[in-house]
Amino acid sequence: MSKKSYRYLILAFVFCLVSVLALRLFGLGEKPVHHDETINGWFVMQMWARGFFKYDPANYHGPLLFYLFQWDEIIFGSSIEAMRALTSFFSALTVILFLAVGWLKGRSTFVAGACVLAISPAAEFFGRSAIHESVFVFFMALMLFSVFAEATVLWMLAGFVGMTLLKETWALWLLSGALAFLLSGAWKIPDVSKGIQRLRTDKGEQNKIFKSFGVGIFVVALFYSGFFQNWEGLVDFFQAFLPWTKTGVGGAGHEKPWWTWVHWLSLYEIPTLTMAGLSVAGIFLADRKIKFYCWLSLLHLLFYSVIPYKTPWCLLSVQLPLVFSGVLSLENILAKISTSKKNLVLVAVSVLGLVHWSQFRALTWDSPIQLDHPYVYVQTQYDIKFFIEHLERAQNSLSLQKIQVATTETWPFPWLLRKFPKVVYGNSKSEPDKEAAVILFDEDQASRIRPLLSETHWERTLPVRQSRAPAVLFLRKDVVEQVGVF
């Protein structure tokens, strides 16, 4: 390759890199907070008070993201933008992994895979949310690329340990991998059989593996024990699968039909569905390595499908392995056709993502909170965003005044009102404090509360989030003069 061509290649890579980062990081504060984002923020608040993260097996999420949020908060402060910037960066890193392998190794199908992920409505919408999924998917991608590129054991282990520290669904990944190994006959792959033989006979290799796994176990123990301040966390790490299994099988209010993932892919993620079709074709290819990845992604989809519990952001965990195996299968198929046809197919796959550009743009910038869209799920509404923004404009004066929250469900207020020191939480049947500057009750209590506050407070209904009855907000009239109505 000439120096001029090499410079163009570098410029193209930098352009793609900047574009991906811009897509994931621009305008992160525009979307109202998600219900789970406020809970994650509250966990970080507890960490500051306690000094460590106390792992709760009923929470279904490991400690790593909360520590990342805490370290992020030290540098950038406490805000939804800072939290989302961290998870969005990991989402961008996943795309960059595909780009880097595509350019550095000359595997153009991975560049096409990067395009699929970069402009996927699901990857964009959930990647820009301060929840676990995009970070979990990054470590999943790291493990896939490490195994594929036959990197050192430490890189493979880093991916798996990262998954283990984030969500209990790593167990489904492990099960999918084990079954894929058997169904594909992966032990017959020359490199794999040689590696197994070397591991059996080479004590130096055995020691290396033993030390690597020792490091992995130490890191897992370090985080789950709260950096050795909560030894019960190690026991809870194993106990977590009991409540997790019960919730997964029972659904816990998030039950959806088994065909949900494929249905959503057909509506909003045609490029990913195409990759799923290529993965199905891949299990019939002669290359056992490709068969392994295709079986892995399809089994993973199957397990996620048969479990009734389905929250839409889990689509990212289904999507990533399908795109990975799909591009490998595509590469094998394209090797059998002419270069001109190959380039045409790659361009077609890359451009295919634009079929959902209107959805992508709407969920990112135009109207992120489309309450009838399945991706928008247990989501707080713009009323809550405007409410908090109004209060924060008068933060200096309100910091000395009481805020009364007497709703049956307190979320998302414990984190949203964190900047106000005099927040009091009470029973929804309690009496209103007429001196409080801000009062929140459930809507069904409005008729009881209204006569008591009509002379002193301004009232409005406050929609909170999906699947929850609205609250009623009472603002003391002198506060209304400061913050205005909304």
* Ranges of each domain in the chain: 16-366, 382-483
Q: Does residue 243 carry a pLDDT above 70?
A: no
Q: Which of 5-14, 41-50, 93-102, 171-180 has the lowest average pLDDT?
A: 5-14
Whole-model pTM?
A: 0.93
For the beta carbon of residue 204, count every other beta carbon within 10 angstroms.
Answer: 8
The pLDDT value given to residue 338: 75
The pLDDT value given to residue 245: 58
The residue among 352 and 6 whose pLDDT is bigger is: 352
Q: Does residue 232 carry a pLDDT above 70?
A: yes
What is the average pLDDT across 418-439?
A: 92
What is the average pLDDT across 282-287?
A: 92
pLDDT category, 51, cuts 50, 70, 90? very high
